A and B are shown apart, each in its own frame.
Chain A
Amino acid sequence: MRVTLMALLLCVLVAGAGAAFAASPPATLGADAPVHLNSAQTARYMALLPELRCMQCQNESLASSQAPWAQQVRARVRTLIANGESNHQIKQYLVARYGEYVLYKPPFQASTWALWVGPFVLLVLGVTALLIVLRRHTRRAQSSEQSAVSAEALERVRHWLEEDKQ
């Protein structure tokens, strides 16, 4: 009984907090009327959504977001697919209104080349640095082997080691 009461209270509190900070339109407003898609169109729709960003909750894609904006744009994407627009046209439609940020995979162009090429440049730089350091180390090791330790010193060390064993 007490548990039920607590749960109820919690629900009321949560709902109250939700209402206080609500920033979403009435659920019945703000989207195109649902259109029917055939199976090929549905497949395209499902494949396209993860490539588009929800602008309202920016780390979610259109596929996962429940934000009102995402619901509206999903409905619009369905409408555009039903109207026979290609994926490219639909992306252009959204980019024209919201900018390239709406795409999860930015196109390769002047403003994004560093983004695409940067990791590979860093990889090449890193590998080069590693090779240089390694080569320098081996060279130093070789030169020290050749010069430093005399046969007499080696003999002494061997002697100590054997003493140690006994």
Chain B
Amino acid sequence: MRWPYLIPIGVLALIGAVLALGLRNGDPTRVPSPLINKPAPAFSVTRVFKPKQHFSRATLKGHVSVLNVWASWCVSCKDEHPVLLALADRNLVPVYGLDYKDTRAAARQWLQSRGDPYTAVGFDPDGSVGLNFGVYGVPETYVIDARGIIRRKFIGPLTPHKLNHTLIPLIERLKAQQGQTG
């Protein structure tokens, strides 16, 4: 009757396996969004550069797009910026910006000095559009398909690796789907 002594070892191995899986899931502070595969929330704001023009959900419809939520006060947005410029250079899809809890002057200056990757930048000074998108830590980046459905959310800065191995393949797949359905 030696086998009961194996029980604790088995339990320990099980706990170890669960914890190992937990570690593998990456950063626990990045909580999956409930908005994935749901339509982007309705919004309508003015633009950073052309305050008389609107930037709304209708702007995003009809084509695959990337929506990047950023701010001039956001430190990791600086690290991310070259990646967005590289994405915009590829001319795959429009890259839209949402300037989150920021001032127009600061945002303009930031883009003028670092280069502007955005097709259009919405201005969300009170963060209410961000709240509807479930933003809690800028930068955050959404991939939205041609029907206006959020397909993926990146929390934290995009890296060249994420850009090349996740974001661009996803954009290409979505564009191919869009082509098939017309």
- A interface residues (Cβ-Cβ under 8 A, vs B): 21-26, 29-32, 55-56, 58, 68-69, 72-73, 76, 95-101
How many residue pairs at the A-B interface have CB separations less than 8 Å?
Answer: 68
Which residues of A sit under 8 angstroms from B137, Cβ to Cβ? 23, 55-56, 69
**Contact between A56 and B31, CB atoms less than 8 A apart:** no
Residues of A within 8 A of B23 (CB): none
Residues of B within 8 A of A21 (CB): 75
Check B127 for interface membership: any CB of A closer than 8 A. yes
Q: Which residues of A contact B138 (CB under 8 A)?
A: 23
Report the separation of the CA atoms of residues A124 and B35 in the bound assembly, to the nearest whole angstrom.
39
Q: How far is the CA of A69 from the CA of B29 in the complex (A)?
A: 14
* B136:A55 contact, CB within 8 angstroms: yes
Instruction: Name the one of B34, B125, B131 contacting A76, with C-beta atoms under 8 angstroms.
Output: B131
By a CB distance below 8 angstroms, the chain A residues around B136 are 55-56, 69, 98
The smallest beta-carbon distance between B70 and chain A, in angstroms, is: 12
Pairs across A and B, CB under 8 Å, 11 listed: A22-B73, A22-B75, A23-B73, A23-B75, A26-B73, A55-B31, A55-B136, A58-B29, A97-B34, A97-B134, A98-B134
B131 proximity list for chain A (CB < 8 A): 72-73, 76, 97
User: Which residues from B are CB-within-8-Å of A76?
Assistant: 131
Q: Which B residues touch A101, using CB under 8 A?
A: 31
Chain B residues with Cβ below 8 Å from A68 are 101
What is the CB-to-nearest-CB distance from A62 to chain B, in angstroms, rounded to a whole number?
12
Decide if the interface of chain B is mainly helix, strand, loop or mixed. loop
The yes or no answer to B103 lying at the interface (CB within 8 A) is yes
* A30 vs B136: C-alpha distance when bound (angstroms): 12
Q: In the docked arrangement, what's the CA distance between A69 and B140, Å? A: 14
Assembly CA distance A25 to B71 (angstroms)? 8
Distance between B153 CB and nearest chain A CB, rounded to angstroms: 11
Residue from B35, B76, B101 within 8 A of A25 (CB atoms)? B101
B37 within 8 A of A: no
Q: Mark B99-143, 1 if CB is under 8 A from A, else 0.
A: 011110000000000000000000001111001111011100000
Most chain B C-beta atoms within 10 Å of own C-beta, residue among A24, A25, A100, A101:
A25
CB-based contact A96/B34 at 8 Å: yes
